[in-house]
Amino acid sequence: MFLMAKLDDGQIRFNQERFDLAALGRQIIHEASLQTGGKRLDFELSCVEEVACFCGDRFYLQQAVENIVANAIRHSNDNGKIGISITVEKGMYHFAVSDTGSGIELQDLPHIFEPYYTKKQAGFHTTGLGLAISREIVRRLGGTITVASRPGEGAAFTLLLPPS
């Protein structure tokens, strides 16, 4: 919870560094593929060429995306697919993470970004803070985060990030 509070009151300084979003996407997928908890998952990265000069805090953006990917892994079944897609539209970067897992119930959708909102799952450690932290990080980066999901059909989270 400390991280949440510190992000919130601006105690944490964000770097302004130029880096390649595609390289970050590759790194996240590589690390995630080593942490599937034994599930067979298919990871896929798709991106355009212009993502090389994103400007912002690489470490915190990675944290934000990793929380989302960890959820995607947890809610996937064997042979599920997890995709990261990075595009640029109208000058905004779209960093999307999609999965083919259990999806999110309609009544949960408005609440999943709230701190401590969690659906307990047997055998898993849940805090309900992952998405709250991701949203706060994205807010600090000047962006927004949205989710689209249908129960049984997976979920897609999109980070909409400004160029700098």
Alpha-helix runs per DSSP H in the chain:
2-8, 21-33, 58-74, 130-140
DSSP three-state, residue 138: helix
Among 127, 150, 152, 163, binds ligand ADP (CB under 6 A): 127
Per-residue contact flags (x/-) with ligand ADP for residues 54 to 83, judged by CB under 6 A: -------------x---xx--x--------
* Binding flag, residue 85, ligand ADP (CB under 6 A): no
Residues 6+ apart with CB under 8 A from 23: none
73 forms bridges with which residues in the sheet? none
Question: What's the closest the beta carbon of residue 68 comes to ligand ADP, in angstroms?
Answer: 7
> 49: closest CA among 20, 73, 9?
20
> 134: closest CA among 107, 152, 161, 108?
161
Among 80, 83, 130, 154, binds Mg ion (CB under 5 A): 130
Per-residue contact flags (x/-) with Mg ion for residues 61 to 100, judged by CB under 5 A: ----------x-----------------------------
| Residue closer to ligand ADP, measured from CB, 21 or 112 | 112
Q: Taking the alpha carbons of 108, 113, 118, 123 in that order, is the dihedral positive or negative?
A: positive
Q: What residue ranges bind ligand ADP (CB under 6 A)?
A: 67, 71-72, 75, 99, 101-104, 108, 112, 117-119, 126-132, 155
